[in-house]
Every structure is written in structure tokens, then in C-alpha cells.
């Protein structure tokens, strides 16, 4: 399955970079979030790969959901696809945007890829193993290395969303011996935790499952965790929620090392 993910992500990333370098217009979806032709092209490429190789597994993809195309997952395994995570970074010409593909089984993200085409790196996760990939200018894989979370230091390095900060995030950082905080866009925050370059990522503003699933799969494969504020692992396939729309996430905290109590 990861071989399909890699092919789909690399091809989608190539299409995204073509748009990124050539110029583009920005439209607003119904929820007022931005979308470009790069999102649409990348999603079409990814869904074609998934449908060809895994025709019996439904895919929940961001732009398709926005267009009202939501397959019934019915408690079955399914894919979550964000063809261009970090659209705001893309629009503002920061290179932190990513392609995200994940496989969900029993509510758990068990495999995923996060590809940052403008940075020429990708990350993959499967049960028990996470890897960092170096991508060439020809969109081939030049190197694979196993990655893992680092031991929890006394003073934590936190990651925060570049575009979605909040007062609650500031309070968390103050209450949890965080010595420094780096802002970065997209699901790369999960990946930096997974490769041992940071320790915690608190998220107290809205995300959707396709935003987090691939990065979460990689972080868990590297030995980390993604927990809701009641200490439970973040789950996927959340539909018929009384307090939010389908596939919306609650607030969560990602840890690079062993689970810790949090001051929230």
C-alpha cells in the first residue's frame, strides 16, 4: 500500500509544483477556506491511483467532500486524502505545504505518507516503522532512512501552527516547561516530532481528519502519540457528531516521547 501512496504522492506533488511555479488564481470554498487548481489536480491524481489499486476501499478526500461527494465508510477501512495541506502556505509562497494520504483501520491511522514537494522530502509510516525519504528533482526516491521520536528532554521544544495559533496554545506552552516554540505550517509538524526534532505539538484550533491522519500515522509509527484532551488517542471516521460536522477533530496534543500529563 505504501508503494501506491508514494507513487500517488510524487505524481501529485509534481502537478502541484507546476502550478506553484507557473502562477495561479485562488478561489474560496463554501467555508471560506482557500482552494487552487493545484488542490484539484492533485486530488484527482491521488484518487485515480487509489481507485485503481484498491477499488474496494473508499476514500474521503478534502475537495470531494467540499463538493458533496462523501462515500459511505460504514465502519470499513478507508483512506483519508488531503491533496494540498497548507494551502495558505502555498498561496503565500512558503514551501511548507504537503500532500497527505492515510489508511484508516478501526479508527486508527495505520499507514500514511506526507510529501513536501517544494522541500524535496517525504515521510512514511506503517506499523512499527517510520521513514524519511529524500526526493530528487526527477521525483524519484534517492534515500530512505528510519526515524524515531527522541527521549523527552527536561525543557520541551514545541511546534505550533503558523496560521492557526490561539491563546490556549500560549497557555499550554507556559504551563508545560516549553523552552522554545517554532511555528511551521501543514502536517510537517507531525513529521518533525517523528524524526526527533521537537517534543510536543498542541492544537487548540479546528482541524479535519484529512489534515492530521497521514502525519499522525507517521508519528505513531515513530513512537509518538496524538491524544485528545481527555488522554485518549485521536480517532478517525468520526461521523454523526452531535457537536460538529463529520470528520472534524477535537482539540489534541501530539507528543514525541512518552505520554505526559498536560496543563490544559
Give every strand in the sheet of 156-161, ordered side by side. Answer: 178-184, 156-161, 200-203, 252-255, 225-228
Cell of 189: 509538524
CA-wise closest residue to 156 among 183, 184, 181, 178: 178
Asked whether residue 175 is marked as a ligand-binding residue, the answer is no
Greatest alpha-carbon pair distance for the chain in Å reads 49
Asked whether residue 85 is marked as a ligand-binding residue, the answer is yes
Asked whether residue 244 is marked as a ligand-binding residue, the answer is no
Asked whether residue 87 is marked as a ligand-binding residue, the answer is yes
Q: Return the beta strands (E) in the chain as ranges.
A: 26-28, 34-36, 59-61, 78-85, 98-105, 108-116, 121-126, 129-135, 141-147, 156-161, 178-184, 200-203, 225-228, 252-255
CA dist 49 and 4 (Å) reads: 7
Q: What angle do CA 182, 197, 136 make, to 5 degrees?
A: 100
Asked whether residue 246 is marked as a ligand-binding residue, the answer is no
Binding residues are 62, 82, 84-87, 211
Binding residues for Mg(2+) are 62, 82, 84-85, 211
Binding residues for substrate are 62, 84-87, 211
Amino acid at each position: 500500500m505504501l508503494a501506491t501512496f508514494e507513487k500517488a504522492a510524487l505524481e501529485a506533488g509534481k502537478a502541484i509544483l507546476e502550478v506553484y511555479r507557473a502562477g495561479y488564481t485562488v478561489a474560496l470554498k463554501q467555508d471560506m477556506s482557500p482552494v487552487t487548481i493545484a488542490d484539484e489536480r492533485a486530488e484527482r491524481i491521488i484518487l485515480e491511483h487509489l481507485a485503481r489499486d484498491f477499488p474496494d476501499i473508499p476514500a474521503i478526500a478534502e475537495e470531494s467532500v467540499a463538493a458533496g461527494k462523501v462515500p459511505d465508510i460504514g465502519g470499513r477501512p478507508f483512506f483519508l486524502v488531503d491533496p494540498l495541506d497548507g494551502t495558505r502556505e502555498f498561496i503565500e509562497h512558503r514551501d511548507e505545504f504537503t500532500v497527505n494520504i492515510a489508511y484508516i483501520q478501526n479508527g486508527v491511522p495505520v499507514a500514511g505518507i506526507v510529501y513536501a514537494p517544494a522541500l524535496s522530502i517525504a515521510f512514511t509510516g506503517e506499523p512499527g516503522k517510520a521513514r524519511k525519504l529524500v526526493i530528487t528533482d526527477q521525483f524519484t526516491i534517492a534515500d530512505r532512512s528510519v526515524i524515531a521520536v527522541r527521549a523527552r528532554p527536561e525543557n520541551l521544544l514545541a511546534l505550533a501552527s503558523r496560521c492557526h495559533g490561539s491563546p490556549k496554545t500560549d497557555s499550554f506552552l507556559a504551563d508545560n516547561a516549553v523552552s522554545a516554540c517554532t511555528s511551521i505550517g501543514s502536517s510537517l509538524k507531525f513529521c518533525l516530532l517523528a524524526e526527533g526534532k521537537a517534543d510536543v505539538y498542541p492544537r487548540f484550533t479546528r482541524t479535519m481528519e484529512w489534515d492530521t491522519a497521514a502525519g499522525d500515522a507517521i508519528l505513531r509509527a515513530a513512537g509518538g502519540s496524538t491524544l485528545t484532551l481527555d488522554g485518549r488517542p485521536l480517532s478517525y471516521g468520526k461521523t454523526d457528531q452531535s457537536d460538529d460536522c463529520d470528520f472534524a477533530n477535537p482539540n489534541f496534543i501530539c507528543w514525541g516521547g512518552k505520554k505526559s500529563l498536560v496543563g490544559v
